[in-house]
Amino acid sequence: MSIKVYLVDDHRLFLSGVKAELDEEFRIVGTAFDVDTAIEEIRGYRPDVVLVDVHMPDGGGIAVVEGVGETNPDVKFLALSVSDQAEDVIAMIRAGARGYVTKTIEPEDLSDAIRRIHAGDAVFSPRLAGFVLDAFAGAIPSDDDPELDQLTSREKDVLRLIARGFAYKQVARKLNISIKTVETHVSSVLRKLQLSNRHELARWASKRRIV
Amino acid sequence: MIAGVAGGLADTLGVRDGYVRAAFVTLLTIWGVGGVLYLILWIVTFDKVEDREIDPVEPTRALGLGLAFIGLLFLMSAIGIWPNSVLVLTAGALSFGTAAITDPSSPGPLAALMNQGVERVSKVRLLIGVLLLIGGIVMFSTALGQVFQFGIVFLAVFLTGLGIFIAFGPWVRRLLTDLSAERGERIRQEERAEVAAHLHDSVLQTLALIQRTDDPQRMAILARHQESELRDWLYGTAPLDGVDLVSTALKRAAAKVEDDFQIPVDVVTVGDHRVDERTRAIVAAATEAMVNAAKHSGVERMSLFCEVEDDSLEVYVTDQGRGFDLASVPADRKGITESIRSRVEKVGGVVDIESEPGEGTEVMLKLSL
């Protein structure tokens, strides 16, 4: 059975382009141009994966992810955006998106990302990997759970290789580990990012602006 | 003003609400009749909150209502509900005088006097209003003067000042509001002009270039270039003049390679450092590595990754292209890798090149800070 995909983007031309590209391989169950329609229809259609734009009127992709997440936590989100602003990217991931890719992504890479998300993995574009490394660089351990906010050195290695443009398969070979292990590392980084406390990321963001 | 009763009544009767308020104030001096009336009307009309169309004031109707009001006063006087003629007449003169000269829709008494365009009616009204005010002030001062026997002059000056303040206050305030509104508008226009100028120099030029290009690759590069420039401008990530960062220098170098060779470079940077003599050498070496990859690897895109940690700077230029066998490098190509190496080693850095035929190439540049 093919994966049920739902598309949300306020840019109609882009939406129809992506729909045409994905139509063969996936079952596109619906599309929406705005946040309210998207939340309502996703709750009704229960797609497996939702491709969601970040910048839209009325709260944007974050509103969609959070709105659906409350009622249907099993729906998985992949953020797809022209924006590569660190704040946008991190905010989407923290809202609950399982991955973030930019709109310049090749069609086959996008299909691959959707399959990966559906299988329960996280999808990190090189740029997202860079942001995450940046976000955790110099992060101090929080008082309540010192382990939670730190990345292991292996996780950092994986992120660095992704940031350098390597695919998961190549990362696995370079580090002499299996693809499954790479996926596990990436998923745990995603979880840490979603759970890390707001204070540190805010500190990081302000630091970036001062530099 | 309190519960909107006067305003509502004014709308219903078709009279300006200032007059209705004046009537309430006048009646208030007759043993508080105005206040009781106000409360009764408030309760009666409690939930009739609606916006009415204001009927145009008909002079005859206004005159009739005015006469009816005066008749009511006479009636009260006749049946003995009358505290003190001076008090009621003073309050009436002052409140109606104020109501006559303050009109929310006219630009103020002084402007009305000077402006030829203002209709005659309002000049007449203004005259009557001023006369009423002066009369009220005189009556009030005389009455108070009789009570206190002194300070009449002082009181007269004070009351005249108060009268002027009441008469011209709204006009002065409106003048000030107009001034600040005008200034705000001017600032907005200047900003709009600046945005227009910038968009014209950048986005419009690029759009024109894109229209004249047939090569889709070239179009994509132009669009990408414009996108990053616009983003810098919008979000202010462009560096201040004179303060340059390694990340900015690398992005600029990557953009140049994109332009020259029509090959997109995905730039990811983590952390940052100022450009100095040593880091500049790394940027130059990275640029050469990118040019190399663009010329020889045969790829359609490449990656540039730069990570600055507390004590080190690392730059990776990675392509997934045809690669080469390090042991059997052609002489011309060796020259380029050597020039990368010598640059970096001169500032105390390390170069590592990994490549295998068919597996792509990665150039690593490392510098201890």
- My answer on whether A202 and A162 are in the same domain is yes
**Residue A175 pLDDT grade (very low, low, confident, very high; cuts 50, 70, 90):** very high
Residue B272 pLDDT: 82
Range of the domain at A133: 122-211
**Helix runs in A25-152, H state only:** 35-45, 60-71, 86-95, 107-118, 126-136
User: Measuring CA to CA, which residue among A55, A66, A54, A98 is closest to residue A193?
Assistant: A98
Chain A residues close to B224, C-beta within 8 Å? 104
Look up the pTM and report it.
Answer: 0.56
SS3 for A124? Answer: strand
**For B319-329, how does the pLDDT look when each residue is reduced to its tens digit (9 = 90+)?**
988 887 777 76
Q: Clarify whether residues A112 and A71 are in a common domain.
A: yes
- Mutation for A interface: B229, B247, B268, B272, most A CBs within 10 A: B268
Q: Are residues A18 and A68 in the same domain?
A: yes
B245:A166 CB<8 A:
no
**Do A139 and A157 fall within a single domain?**
yes
Final residue of a structural domain among A120, A149, A166: A120
Please enumerate in sequence order all residues whose Cβ is within 8 A of that of A44, keeping only pairs 6 or more positions apart, or say none: none
Best of A88, A164, A166, A171 to disrupt the B interface by mutation (most B CBs within 10 Å)?
A: A164
The dihedral through the CA atoms of B151, B155, B157, B158 has a sign that is positive
Q: What is the mean pLDDT of each run of 10 residues along chain B (369 residues)?
A: 64 69 74 72 58 54 75 74 69 74 53 48 69 76 64 69 75 81 86 78 77 77 77 62 74 87 87 85 89 85 89 91 75 68 87 85 90
- CATH ID of B241-368, from 3.30.565.10, 3.40.50.10190, 3.20.20.70, 3.30.420.40: 3.30.565.10
Collapsing DSSP to helix, strand or coil, B274 comes out as strand
Interface test with A, best of B221, B301, B305 (most A CBs within 10 A): B305
Residues of chain B with CATH 3.30.565.10: 241-368
DSSP B214-264: --HHHHHHHHHHHHHHHHHHHHT-SPPTT--BHHHHHHHHHHHHHHHH---
Within 8 A of A211 by CB-CB distance, chain B residues are: 245, 272
Q: Using CA atoms, how far apart are residues B193 and A47, in angstroms rounded to an integer?
A: 47
Q: A31 and A78 share a domain?
A: yes
* Chain A residue with the nearest C-alpha to that of B318: A164
Condensed to tens digits (0 to 9), the pLDDT of residues B77-89 reads 777 666 666 677 7
Q: Do B362 and A126 touch (CB under 8 A)?
A: no
Please check whether residues A104 and A28 belong to one and the same domain.
yes
- Calculate how close chain A gets to B305, using CA atoms only, in Å: 5
My answer on whether A189 and A110 are in the same domain is no
Same domain, residue pair A106 and A18: yes
Task: Write down which residue in A65, A100, A120 finishes a domain.
Answer: A120
Same domain, A16 and A60: yes
Mean local confidence (pLDDT), A168-189: 90
> Is the predicted pLDDT of residue A48 greater than 60, yes or no?
yes
| Alpha helices (H) in chain A, listed in sequence order | 12-22, 35-45, 60-71, 86-95, 107-118, 126-136, 153-163, 168-175, 179-195, 198-210
- Ramachandran region, residue B80 (left: φ > 0; alpha: ψ -120 to 50; beta: rest): left
More confident residue, A196 or B97: B97
Of A104, A120, A136, which residue constitutes the final position of a domain?
A120
Residues A132, A83 share a domain: no
Chain B window 303-332: which residues touch A at a Cβ cutoff of 8 Å?
303, 305, 307, 309, 316, 318, 320
Residue A204: CATH number of its domain: 1.10.10.10
Interchain proximity B305–A133, CB inside 8 Å: no
Of the candidates A34, A46, A37, A65, which has an alpha carbon nearest to the alpha carbon of residue A5? A46
Element (H, E) at B280: helix B277-296
- The verdict on A79 and A130 lying in the same domain is no
In terms of domains, do A110 and A146 share one? Answer: no
Q: Count up the domains in chain A and report the number.
A: 2
Give yes or no for residue A149 having a pLDDT over 80: no
CATH code of residue A77:
3.40.50.2300
The arrangement of strands across the sheet holding A49-52 comes to A27-32, A4-8, A49-52, A76-81, A99-102, A123-124
Query: B217 to each of A81, B9, B214, B321, how far by Cα in Å?
Result: 21, 73, 9, 18
C-alpha dihedral, B58 to B60 to B65 to B68, nearest 10°: -170
ipTM greater than cut 0.90: no
